[in-house]
Amino acid sequence: MNKNQRLTIVFLLLGSILISGGIGLRDYVSYSLPIGWIAGFISQLIAVWFAVSWYKETR
């Protein structure tokens, strides 16, 4: 597993955790839902960037 492959997996998992955490904490923290979605979306975009880098590396 190379660096881009690992970082793709890490940021995909982190994005899912951030979205789930935002949904889970919505009753306790007022702005956790939009913060979780925005942070998760940014994390998913970073994962896509590493996936594209990984794809270019293997071509």
pLDDT, residue 50, reads 97
What's the pLDDT tens digit per position in 6-51? 999 999 999 999 999 999 999 999 999 999 999 999 999 999 999 9
Domain boundary assignment for the chain? 3-58
Q: Is the pLDDT of residue 1 over 90?
A: no
Report d(CA 9, CA 26) in Å as an integer.
26
Report d(CA 41, CA 2) in Å as an integer.
24
Burial 22-42, CB ≥16 within 10 A → b, else e: beeeeeeeeebbeebeebbee
